[in-house]
Structure 1
Amino acid sequence: MTPQRRRWFVTAKQSAVKKYVVKLSLEERERLDTMIRVGKHPGWKLLKARILLKADASEAGQGWSDSQIAAALDTSVDTVARTRQVLVEEGFEAALTRKHSPRSARRRIFDGAAEAKLIALACSSPPKGRARWTLKLLETAVVELEIVERASDNTIGRTLKKTFLKPHLQKQWVIPPDANAAFVAGMEDVLEVYQRPHDPACPVVCVDETSKQLVAETRVPIRAKPGRIARHDYEYERNGTANLFMMFAPLEGWRHVKVTDRHTAIDYAHMLKDLSDSHFPQARKIVLVQDNLNIHKPASLYEAFPPSEARRLVERFEWHYTPKHGSWLDMAESELSVLSGQCLDRRIPDKQMLIEEVAAWERTRNRDHVKANWHFTTANARIKLKRLYPAL
């Protein structure tokens, strides 16, 4: 473009200022200011917001020309002019919306019908010999099935991202069986325990366990500083594993974590003895809720103690079990999840440090009397989990 032609073009665009005058209300200016300050919007939308604020010819605005705005925001005069025009002709909301034009140079590869077929394909079983769909596999399949003539894995990834589909990832769930009387009997038994009023003489205590791999650093990590996260070397030294028993009394706001070398019937029996004689010695009876692990039985007490002592401890507890595939009913499992996220999600080199770190976490939670706010009841279960109940 020649200099003369460019000057004519700019003059023509500036003349559009008189035709499409931007005048924003105080509420609209405040909304645009908030949008820019927060920054949680696409770049093109923030650009339009800045253009409108600078083009605003009201008393609160600056009333810049198109060329001034284009130079300040490093954009084109065309973009500024179009934004003005859309605001005046179609309104404030339209000026902040990106519309797909059928005349645009970039044609959409996946329209409504093709996009639906792609989603159905991504949700189907993967090809034989593959564990799951990948973007490359989908790229090949959509062409072979004549869904589209051509597509890149990047295009497929963007299309699936809109629907939150990630076929290359797989989550595992504990899926309860349908129409299973044993499951609903165990579930309703535990839910009945949780609905009992608080009785300090008969505290409800949930028990669960997890393991923690002990890992030591082989090189000193680099601390975090402004603009850079902490750095840990990928190499590490394995120092075995430790077992953690979680004892959680949800109505008391109390929990205790016992760290042991192993997870055997003997360890479990000694944990119950501590729970009975050290933590709740004055309780008339301890209402015990736990999952169906093979060592979670009164028999474990007989393996660890003489018959008279084992019988005494058995009588100290009221035994309740979550059903198989229903361990989510154990509140200790939720408390273990909190422990893992707040304390264990890092490299811990040895058992002694694990004990100290877990004890510090435990003291803070007990000091604040953090309780469990359980809302799921038997009435809820009979409605929301109706498919689990046998049909009569």
Structure 2
Amino acid sequence: MWCIAEIDAEYRKKMYKVLNLYEEEYNLKYPVICFDEKQKYFISDVKTKIPMKPGSPEKYDYTYKINGSANIFVAVDFKGGVRDITVTDRRTKSDFAHYIKHLVDNVFPKAKKLRIIMDNLNTHTYTAILENFEFNEAVRLISKISFHNTPKHASWLNIAEIEINIMDIECTGRRIKDKNTLTKETKAWCEKRNKNKSKINWNFTKKDADKKLYKYYTKS
């Protein structure tokens, strides 16, 4: 946010839309879902670790070996205290489309419509769904969702970024050697967060935005 010298009308329009959604009262049938993704590199140790013991943390050498990577999809209903973490090999249009179907049918099956906040990555489109499902199925899925993009260079507006930061601190921020381990550990972490109905309190409003950012606003 602080790297932007000017905030034009298009930026403000998208920012206000997201902030207005965040201010709404929680509605189980129309939840606001924040979505993002993160690449995770698999790292193995070159030298054997020294395991932790009472009074001494685990120790490992600074040298390591990269053994590929995976993608982590993160979706969070921050007011309902529900999130989903799914590990995939890649983050293609097909991966995105099938993940949206997973959210609709498995994670939030009782919702009439998911209002999904996300960035402007070129895979994040309704077209991705049309290209990867039979027409009637694609139409069904699209009828159950609405996409709301954050402005460009405004990842700070996406609450999924906060969830990912918490995940990194508590789970994925250390060395993980392979996809199987990553999948097991993110699943366990996600289940614990959901069991506790962990929520995120967002207090930055449209009024706050105007007060804090008005000096960057342009007329166009």
Amino acid at match of 1:291: D
Distance 1:391 1:219 in 2: 59
| 8 Å contact from structure 1 (residues 184, 388) kept in 2 | no
Q: Which has the higher contact order (CA 8 A, sep 6+)?
A: 2
Q: CA deviation at 1:260?
A: 0.1
Which of 124, 133, 136 is matched with 1:305 structurally?
133
| Distance change in 2, residues 1:281/1:225 (3 Å) | closer
Q: CA deviation at 1:231?
A: 2.1
Distance 2:91 2:45 in 1: 26
Amino acid at match of 2:205: T
Structure 1: gaps (5+ residues): 1-172
Partner of 1:168: none
Mean Cα displacement is larger for which, 264-273 or 235-244? 235-244
1:258 aligns with 2:81: no
Structure 2: gaps (5+ residues): none
SS at match of 1:347: coil
Which of 22, 29, 32 is matched with 1:201 structurally?
29
Q: How many aligned positions are there?
A: 220
Amino acid at match of 2:191: R
- The structure with the greater share of residues assigned to strand is 2
Q: CA deviation at 1:189?
A: 0.5
What fraction of aligned residue pairs are identical, expressed as a percent? Answer: 38
1:378 aligns with 2:206: yes
1:186 aligns with 2:14: yes
SS at match of 1:385: helix
Amino acid at match of 1:286: L
| 8 Å contact from structure 1 (residues 177, 183) kept in 2 | no
User: Over the residues paired in the alignment, what is the CA RMSD in angstroms?
Assistant: 1.7
Distance 1:227 1:284 in 2: 52
1:359 aligns with 2:210: no
Residues 97-127 of structure 1, C-alpha deviation per residue, up to 9 Å, x if partnerless?
xxxxxxxxxxxxxxxxxxxxxxxxxxxxxxx
Partner of 2:151: 323
Which of 169, 182, 187 is matched with 1:341 structurally?
169
Q: CA deviation at 1:225?
A: 4.2
Q: How does 1:280-299 map to 2 (within 5 A)?
A: 280-299=108-127
Structure showing greater Rg: 1
Distance 2:216 2:41 in 1: 36
| 8 Å contact from structure 1 (residues 178, 388) kept in 2 | yes
| 8 Å contact from structure 2 (residues 44, 175) kept in 1 | yes
Distance 2:57 2:192 in 1: 27
Q: CA deviation at 1:180?
A: 0.8
Q: CA deviation at 1:184?
A: 0.7
1:272 aligns with 2:100: yes
Q: CA deviation at 1:284?
A: 1.0
